[in-house]
Chain A
Amino acid sequence: MTMDKIWVLVRQGILDTAYMTFPSTFFAYLLGLPLGVLLVISQKGHIRAMPTLNTVLGAVINFLRSIPFLILLVMLFPVTRVVMGTAIGTRSIIFPLVISAFPYVARMVEGSLKEVDPGLIEAAQSMGMSTFQIIRKVLLPEALPSLVNGAAICITTILAYTAMAGAAGGDGLGKIAITYGLNRREYGVMYAASIALVVMVQIIQILGNILTNALDHRKR
């Protein structure tokens, strides 16, 4: 296959991969961010301690995270069909990606928010802040660099998962690498698609690092 043709293929692969990755990340955060906040503030000794809820939530999240993505993808077929209209294709893979990623996002957010100095929360309480104000004015802004760093990791993880989209009739770089490499022995295409994946991951990670540093005012 000529370089031109490979490029046309890979370029479409990049677009398909991005099309699956970014909306999935967005919706995973829509669910995972509030859940991560809830995981932190419902802890014993935190601003809205609800130990039972915290334990249950933690267990559900662990359960969801322990299911391998490929199995979840298949298990979710009926639900995906209802939610997305169809269970196969590049667009419909977004749903299982979100379901698989949001517990991961919640844990990521939890980790970031836990780093916030308890002294700051105490100071916020002493100023007469409400729970919501503490979340909005203290927890989230203080954890912002760490949250951004976590988001970069989440995006790259979801991006890697999209490689399995082929199993549900989706496209993207992963699908291209597998079809051309494994089935047609067109190794040039396989390597090109794989390199494109690696480059995408690198770019996201580097941008994430730059943004994290720019947002961090804790250092001199």
Chain B
Amino acid sequence: MSESTRPMIQIQGLTKIYGSGASQVTALQDVNLTVNRGDIHGIIGMSGAGKSTLIRCINRLDTPTEGRILIDGQNIMDLKGAQLRAMRRRVSMIFQQFNLLMQKTVARNVRIPLEIAGVSRKEADDRVKELLKIVGLEHKARAYPAQLSGGQKQRVAIARALASDPEVLLSDEATSALDPMTTQSILALLQDINQRMGITIIIITHEMAVIRQICNQVTIIDGGVIVEEGSVDEVFTHTRSSAGRRLFGIIKDEIKEDEITEALRIVFDGTTRNEPLISSFILKSGMPVNILSADMHRIGGKAYGQMLLSLPESYADREKLTNGLREMGLTVEEVHTS
């Protein structure tokens, strides 16, 4: 196999069981997953789905109960001691709570992986400067983490993660403690790193927006099982699993309470023009449209997100609505929320 097509990470039949006897928890059940070189692969799931367990198995912070994990073709299940530590330097990780050393300056934090690798003082100094520049924090080299904002802390953590020149970057809810603006900038930084350095990134999140903004592949995990996977466009426009529908907000709790069991879902995938499509449809067709919910974002002047419309009673009206919207270039599907 050529260098570019060999998968970066292969997870085969991964099962993780915590505890034993009555208190046993199956966090992951027969998970199979391939992450290609250079991908930004999102793993999304509800709380307790097993996302952290999965990502922690990849750098062996957790030991799988069963299964194999190959990184760049190398089976990492039997690695011990120095070999295990060497592998971990190739697979960096960033965390929701940043996990910076609070007693060390920004520069000293970023320097730590270099110290472990035995890089000379002079070389390490230069590299730290370079890394801080990449994350835009040269001016904070001498600050302590307590003096930084959440977004700045995560930037330091990213610089630290890059210090060992990793091939893979694991991100466990790295933006979950940040506000939307800061989240955007951190995601942009990760994308930049992926493109410029070719680092494969695995992003764990419970937010659909994160996946849509930077991932090209997505895996939906629910109750320790993979329920859906594929390219982000594919999975988002044709969501099959109920976990996916819940995560993407296709099934809304408020709607359930109103006992609406069917709806029409419109997906805005960034391809439609920036116009008031729904209002022009209403004007053109003279048909009333009831918007149940809308969750829209504008990224780079394009519309992303979705809208749920209530379905008309009669079959003819349904056809008219659906076809009319499709003619306008929208992706439309009927969804059943129960």
Query: Which B residues touch A216, using CB under 8 A?
Result: 103
Is the Cβ of B85 less than 8 Å from the Cβ of A122? no
Query: Which A residues touch B115, using CB under 8 A?
Result: 137
Is residue B95 contacting chain A, with contact meaning CB distance below 8 A? Answer: yes
Is residue A217 contacting chain B, with contact meaning CB distance below 8 A? Answer: yes
* Chain B 220-235: CB-based contact to A (< 8 A → 1; otherwise 0): 0000000000000000
Is residue A198 contacting chain B, with contact meaning CB distance below 8 A? Answer: no
Contact partner of A219 (CB less than 8 A), chosen from B59, B84, B95, B146, is B146
Is residue A186 contacting chain B, with contact meaning CB distance below 8 A? Answer: no
Query: Which B residues touch A215, using CB under 8 A?
Result: 103
Is the Cβ of B99 less than 8 Å from the Cβ of A119? yes
Is the Cβ of A141 less than 8 Å from the Cβ of B116? no
Is residue B16 contacting chain A, with contact meaning CB distance below 8 A? Answer: no
Is residue B101 contacting chain A, with contact meaning CB distance below 8 A? Answer: yes
Chain B 80-126 interface residues, beta-carbon cutoff 8 Å to A: 84-89, 92-93, 95, 97, 99-104, 112-113, 115-116
Complex Cα gap A87–B332 (Å): 92
Is residue B147 contacting chain A, with contact meaning CB distance below 8 A? Answer: yes
Is the Cβ of A120 less than 8 Å from the Cβ of B101? yes
Is the Cβ of B99 less than 8 Å from the Cβ of A122? yes
Minimum C-beta distance from A191 to chain B (A) = 43
Contact partner of A126 (CB less than 8 A), chosen from B59, B86, B100, B102, is B59
Chain B 237-273 interface residues, beta-carbon cutoff 8 Å to A: none
Instruction: Write 26 A-B pairs (CB below 8 A) sorted by A numbering.
Output: A119-B97, A122-B95, A123-B93, A123-B95, A123-B100, A125-B61, A126-B59, A126-B88, A126-B92, A127-B112, A127-B116, A127-B160, A127-B164, A128-B116, A129-B85, A130-B85, A133-B116, A137-B112, A138-B101, A142-B102, A145-B103, A216-B103, A217-B102, A217-B103, A217-B145, A220-B146
Which 8 pairs between the two chains have the least Cβ-Cβ distance? A123-B99, A128-B88, A128-B85, A126-B93, A217-B144, A128-B89, A119-B99, A218-B102
Hey, which bits of chain B sit against chain A, CB under 8 A? 59, 61, 84-89, 92-93, 95, 97, 99-104, 112-113, 115-116, 144-147, 160, 164, 170
Hey, which bits of chain A sit against chain B, CB under 8 A? 117, 119-120, 122-123, 125-130, 133, 137-138, 141-142, 144-145, 215-220
